[in-house]
Chain A
Amino acid sequence: MTAFDSRFITPPKEEEEIYPYRRVWSSIIAESGVMVAVAIIIFLVTRFVEVPRRFYPPIGVAISLIPVGLWIGLSWWRERFVPQPRTKLVSVAIISALAANAIAIPLVEDFLQVDKWLPLENAINRIIGYTFTQGLVQSILTYLVVRYVAWPDNFRVRLDSIAYGAASAVGYATILNLHLVLSSNPSPDIAAFRIFDALAVQLAVNIIIAYGLSEVRFNARPFPVLLVATIALASFVSGLALPLRSGLTNAALEQGIGSVSPIRGFLLSAAILAGVSFIFAFLFDNAERQDAETAAQSE
């Protein structure tokens, strides 16, 4: 009787190729998903539990720091366990936060004074206004930080641009969120939704810019207008999100009962992030496939 040896009838086992980088999309989905869950849980809990007003600031600050905590746990920490970690993530996040605090907030609030004139404009003017003020400042600062800290040496694969964009988004959005909760002292449920809104829009904006930066880095003959087009699109998305969200969230001036509905603004922000991620994941995938085909043809 002979012993059965599976090696004779099954094909030899192929060595599984190890992907040497942290997977970026899964981190973004996990971080966004947890933030959605946190916002919904806080919203539901505050329906039943009355939080005293004096606890609003510390709770707001704690919620503002959740995205950083999630990013550290689900992105930065996981870099330590891959063969080829991204080294400039923390630098990008910190410099983005500093740029938001030192440049973006004073420029938008004190110099451009958007709160004094944009809320009074009609919808179209508000979209144009926010695109050229808040959106432009946000997009250009993100571009400058990623461009001068990580690009091009730390861009080894296309998805590196998303990783650095997400790091920048977390740093930038955290400062905006801390500024929001410390200046306007919102209730925890409103704070949770607004914090997710800021993070989601910032992530969407940075994904768009990341695509432009990756094209300029990896495309052999990048179309020179492509990068500026992505910055313009990112500014527009940011400029569009704010008035749309306000329109959906605030109570309408109409006969009968009008009520504030933060959940509609929250759903809009989630939809913007999901839509932008879906479209640009396809574009990134398409660009990588073209790179692979080009590499295969040249061999």
Chain B
Amino acid sequence: MSAIEIVGASDSLSFRQRWSHYLVLIFGLVGFIIAVNLRDGALNATTLYINAQAGIRAEYPQNWLLDEEGDYIFRVRDLSQAGFNTTLQVATRPVSSITTTRNVLDALTLGRSQTLGYTVLSEEQYILPDESTGITMSYTFVVSDPNPFLQGVPIVVEGQDILTIKRGQAIIISFISDATTFDENLPILTRFMSTLEF
């Protein structure tokens, strides 16, 4: 077998060689923009939820599991997450004309006081997308498997309730996530709140 060795031709690149490399760099840049666009499109994709009876319209993350069977209007969970499934929940409570958000928060705290490790972290004012005022409460608790024969380490969960009173009912929007990924997942709540209409 013979070998053809070309030596000394590499000092300067020809026009075609230069453009071959430029095109690769352009392709890399365009491809990267497409990749970021695909990522954003998939991660921020939403599904529309409308409940005419409760007068609620919202967009929740695509591929999350919708559930309307509990004591809430609806709940969506990210079942693709290992461990605790990040959850968004919208619930309502009837209130009287003299009930304040403070009363509702205290009732929620009392109701959850038997939950393992339940601790309120903070309470502060919250401005809703329609510029009405609400209140937000951050808390933490521990989730463990109810089956004592299953092996596993309990999970520390962090939650945030956003509460407002409208049309004679308290609307409670809860966002609950594994404490280790709570901050990372918090933009999901922000996006959800920006689409929520009630």
Beta-carbon contact of A120 and B80 below 8 Å: yes
Near A by CB (< 8 A), chain B positions 1-40 give: 1-7, 10, 13, 16-17, 19-21, 23-24, 26-28, 31-32, 34-36, 38-39
Let me know if B107 is at the binding interface, CB within 8 A.
no
Select which of B20, B36, B80 is within 8 A of A112 by beta carbon.
B36
- B39, A112: Cβ atoms closer than 8 Å: yes
Contact call B42/A228, Cβ cutoff below 8 A:
no
Q: B133 at the A/B interface (Cβ < 8 Å)?
A: no
Contact check, A128 vs B38: say whether CB atoms are below 8 A apart: yes
Q: How far is the CB of A143 from chain B (nearest CB, A)?
A: 6
- Tell me, yes or no, whether A36 is within 8 Å of chain B by CB: no
Cα(A118)–Cα(B63), bound, Å: 12
* Contact residues in B for A288 (Cβ distance below 8 Å): 4
Residues of B102-159 contacting chain A, CB below 8 A: none
Q: Does A180 contact B (CB under 8 A)?
A: no
B65 at the interface (CB under 8 A from A): no
Per the bound structure, the CA–CA distance linking A133 and B34 in Å amounts to 9
A157 to chain B, nearest CB (A): 5
The 8 A CB mask of A153-165 against B (1 = contact, 0 = none) is 1011100000000
A19 contacts B1, C-beta separation under 8 Å: yes
Beyond A117-B42, A157-B4, A231-B28, 8 additional contacts (C-beta under 8 Å) are: A112-B36, A120-B80, A136-B32, A152-B13, A212-B20, A216-B20, A226-B20, A291-B4
How far in angstroms is the closest Cβ of chain B from A211? 13
Q: Is A13 an interface residue (CB 8 A)?
A: no
B2 touches A292 (CB 8 A): yes
A256 at the interface (CB under 8 A from B): no
**Given A136-B28, A227-B24 in contact, is the A153-B39 Cβ separation under 8 Å?**
no
Contact of A228 among B17, B24, B80 (CB under 8 A): B24
Q: How many Å from the CB of B13 to the closest CB on chain A? A: 8
Contacts of B17 in A (CB 8 A): 216-217, 222
Contact B2 A224 (CB under 8 A): no
Residue of B nearest to A154 (CB): B10
Inter-chain contacts of B66 with A (CB < 8 A):
none
Residue A14, interface by CB 8 Å: no
Closest to A222 in B: B16
Q: Is B43 an interface residue (CB 8 A)?
A: yes
B19 contact set on A, CB distance < 8 A: 224
Q: Is the CB of A157 within 8 A of B5?
A: yes
CB distance from A110 to the nearest CB of B (A): 11
